[in-house]
Structure 1
Amino acid sequence: MVLKLYIDLLSQPSRALFILLKTAKCDFEKKLVDLRKGAHYTDEFTAINRFQKVPVIDHNGFILTESVAIIKYLSRENLIPNSLFPKESKSQARVDEFLEWQHIGLRIHCAMYFRVKVIDPKFTGKAPSAKTLMGFEKRMISSLKAFEMHWLQNGTEFIAGDSITVADLLAACELEQPRAAGYDAAENFKDISTWWNKVRNHFNPYYDEAHAVINSLIEKNKLAAKL
């Protein structure tokens, strides 16, 4: 049976898993779940994921949620390259170290900035106050500073060593979220910019394919700002 991947490409971890499986040349069926239309709240999808979130995989009837758990499972099933998620103990521990940190160290701050500036106004019709937005932006910038200092200035080329791994892919996808809200970390952090370009280049053409929706949103916002 083909692996089924339930995603919405507006979701950072959804994009990361899509890129990962494409890069691995893994045979999978893409199942789109439109979050903007509330498809994740339907009874049909809730039967697949009780948490009503994406991404989710269905592998021969085995359903698994949470992107990090999915990545580790795909590795154990030999569906993704060892180079991207190493099986050697210490190398894997370095990747796991970042995966544990990134949830509250990077992801939450980038995601909340995007949500407050882009998502909430679309649903409520109200823009956030300048004070509220500034607070989320400050926390996001602080997390970006920590990311650059502790993970990109550690004497290695990539997050978990001198070889690119899923840690780099997940982090890169997280940074696309504030970019879609008008804040490009590459314009403000030199080391992030250099590293980010390497990650994009490594995973292309699938990286750009996965981010077509995000890039379209950015272009629409630029056009609207000129009007």
Structure 2
Amino acid sequence: SSGQQRTEEFRKVNVLMTVPALRDGSFTLAESIAILLYLARKFKTPDHWYPSDLQKRARVDEYLSWQHVSIRGKASKLFLTKLLLPILTGQPVPPEKLESVAEELNVVLKQFQEKFLQDKPFIAGSEVSLADLVALVELMQPVGVGHDPFEGRPKLAEWRRRVEEALGTQLFQEAHEGILNISNLTADRIAPELLEHFRHQLLKQ
């Protein structure tokens, strides 16, 4: 939230000036999914994260291609609405607005369970993969602002438990400490240009 990605130094890493971005020697890379896949290949992570099996890998790729405007898009929209709209307007979020963005998330959660999770332990089958990691990270955004997408969805809650166990519960909690304490965020801790960006994004909806 400090706006460090807006500096000229950061522009050398990513001309788009967005996060995340990676510099590996003289090589630079943007976009979170591209970075994850690059790191998985470079460091030869255990096969289950990005399977060598053609069809299992295709399942991971399928989810990663779908999630941008679905799980990621709707979860982040709810997150930003609940977190930033009150900061920008000085008023509580109108109930009908919250209901609308929550319903958008409900729709893609139903699609996620029916299409991608089905009755499998994980998205690609019997083992956890990058697809599960990316999905759960996005679904923790609403949790951070007090909207629990796992409540009332036992299949989804069990999937979350399995992914947490596969990652290690302590590591999972440490990785999400920031998002789970985000409700304490105030306007003075957000870079002005970011506030302006989100003002245009949220108030036009």
TM-score of the aligned structures, taking structure 1 as reference length = 0.74
- Write the mapping of 1:1-80 to structure 2, written as runs, cut at 5 A: 36-80=1-45
Kept in 2, the 8 Å contact 1:148–1:192? The answer is yes
Which residue of the partner structure matches residue 98 of structure 2?
A: 133
Structure 2 equivalent of residue 173 of structure 1: 137
8 A contact 1:98–1:160 mirrored in 2: no
- CA shift, 1:216, in A, is 2.5
Structure-1 separation of matches of 2:18 and 2:85: 18
8 Å Cα contact 2:13/2:28 also seen in 1: yes
CA gap of 1:206–1:158, structure 2 versus 1, over 3 A, is same
Match for residue 108 of structure 1? 73
Which of residues 138, 152, 174 in structure 2 aligns to 1:209?
174
The runs of 4+ residues in structure 1 deviating greater than 4 Å are none
RMSD value, Cα: 1.9
Query: Which runs of 5 or more structure 1 residues have no equivalent in the other structure?
Result: 1-35, 222-227
Write the deviation string for residues 171-218 of structure 1: whole angstroms up to 9, x where unpaired.
111110011121111212111100001111111232111111122336
In structure 2, what residue type is equivalent to 1:176?
M
Pairing partner for 2:149 from 170, 178, 185: 185
Q: Match for residue 113 of structure 2?
A: 148
1:171 partner amino acid:
A
Q: Give 3-state SS (helix, strand or coil) of 1:37's partner.
A: coil
Per-residue CA deviation, residues 60-82 of structure 1 (Å, 9 max, x unaligned), is 22111111111222233234222
Q: Does the 8 A contact of 2:79 with 2:141 survive in 1?
A: yes
Deviation at 1:123, TM superposition (A): 4.1
Query: SS of 2:87's equivalent?
Result: helix
**1:215–1:104 distance in 2 versus 1, CA, 3 Å:** same
User: How far did 1:46 drift?
Assistant: 2.5
